[in-house]
Amino acid sequence: MKLSQIRTLNAWSAAITKPHRYTYTRTYPTTLVNPDGSSYTIRYYEPRQIITLPLNIWTLSEAERKAKLEMRKPKSRVKYQDDLDDSYDASKYLKYVQKKK
């Protein structure tokens, strides 16, 4: 009589034990953040610390969608123009300067 080992696989075996493979791919623990703010740790093939999933703006209300689209637009910079008055006359202030002896 020949004895063989039989593995019974179910939905919990991957969560409790390691992945059963002959060749293991290198994975890194990475935090995945959902658009609603919830997060969990996954195994990712690149060494990243955090991955943020994009927000689907079509699921938002009209006011929230407009606010998010305005935030995505580039901010306009205010340009300052220097209006210099070049009517400075130094001879008007000579009476305040004292000559040193």
Per-residue pLDDT tens over the stretch 41-82: 998 988 999 999 998 888 889 999 999 999 989 988 888 877
E-state strands within 3-82: 28-33, 39-44, 50-52
Q: Does the residue 98 lie in any domain?
A: no
* Number of structural domains the chain divides into: 1
The residue whose two tokens read 């006359």 is 89
Domain region containing 50: 25-55
Q: Does the residue 20 lie in any domain?
A: no
Q: How confident is the model at residue 24 (pLDDT cuts 50, 70, 90)?
A: low
Q: What is the mean pLDDT of residues 33-39?
A: 92
Q: What is the mean pLDDT of residues 5-31?
A: 72
Q: Does the residue 32 lie in any domain?
A: yes
Q: Does the residue 49 lie in any domain?
A: yes
Q: Does the residue 38 lie in any domain?
A: yes
Confirm whether pTM is higher than 0.95. Answer: no
Strands in 28-33's sheet, in edge-to-edge order, are 39-44, 28-33, 50-52
